Amino acid sequence: MTTQKLQYWVIPPEADEEFVACMEEVLEVYHRPFNPRNPVVAMDDQPGQLHKDVRAPIPAVPTQNGHAGHPERPDSEYERNGTVCVFMMVAPFLNWRRVSVREHRTKLDWAEEIERLVMHDFKNADKVTIIMDNLNVHTKGSFYTKFAPEYCREILRRCEFIYTPIHGSWLNIAESELSVLTRQCTDRRIGTLEQYRQAVVAWMNYRNARAKGVNWQFTTDDARIKLTSVYPSFQFENK
């Protein structure tokens, strides 16, 4: 019996004008001249699974005095303890990210995260440009589930929403940052919501202090050369 290896991939559509329009808009935003009064922030979210130890793990032992140590040794048995949702906000050209861990991903949760972003994190900005996918909770109406109408309008006046295309999640820098978070921090057994939050905050502080910003190189001109299959064919007449 042969084993077939799979590599899951986000396959872009062919000849899709809506994909192209959204992609070029995102790429244009990434190449705007930096403006501290109008920062660009990418946001994304992903679920996380809580796994609780059934037995106390064997603590790690350092190598010393010629005796070999060993890493922490958790038991192979564990208990599922619910799920969480991780919200990632990344200002790629400011070397800033904020990560929140919540119990749910509802309209109310998203509205609270965006309100915090535009009214507190970047309270001195005139407008915040937010790049994200078009999930059904990522709507202007979500704010009205939490805040008074007058305040909703104040929030929305300070937001510019730019949506990545369907099958175009690779255009969202926040998705890449979530991948780094998973590899460096959360791809292990974490038992409770509070422990998950503590781990994520420690990672966030470390990365904000030491990581570099994002140097996004892919441009609209590159897309028109390398992704010709997604551009519809057309004919035009000079007028």
Return d(Cα 123, Cα 193) in angstroms, integer.
29
Give percent above pLDDT 70 in the chain.
Answer: 86
Which range scores top for mean pLDDT: 81-90, 116-125, 185-194?
116-125
Task: Please report whether residue 62 resides in a domain.
Answer: no
CATH number (domain holding residue 125): 3.30.420.10
Mean pLDDT of the chain: 88
- List, for residues 2-29, the tens digit of each pLDDT value: 555 655 445 566 768 999 999 999 999 9
Q: What is the dihedral of CA 144, 147, 150, 153, to 10 degrees?
A: -60
Return d(Cα 220, Cα 226) in angstroms, integer.
10
Task: Please report whether residue 233 resides in a domain.
Answer: no
pTM: 0.84
Return d(Cα 10, Cα 14) in angstroms, integer.
13
- Overall number of domains in the chain: 1
* Residue 193, domain extent: 35-48+80-214
Average pLDDT (184-197) is 94
- List, for residues 138-162, the tens digit of each pLDDT value: 999 999 999 999 999 999 999 999 9
Q: Choose between 167 and 117: higher pLDDT.
A: 117
- List, for residues 29-88, the tens digit of each pLDDT value: 999 999 999 999 999 999 999 977 666 766 777 888 777 776 776 656 657 779 999 999
Task: Please report whether residue 223 resides in a domain.
Answer: no
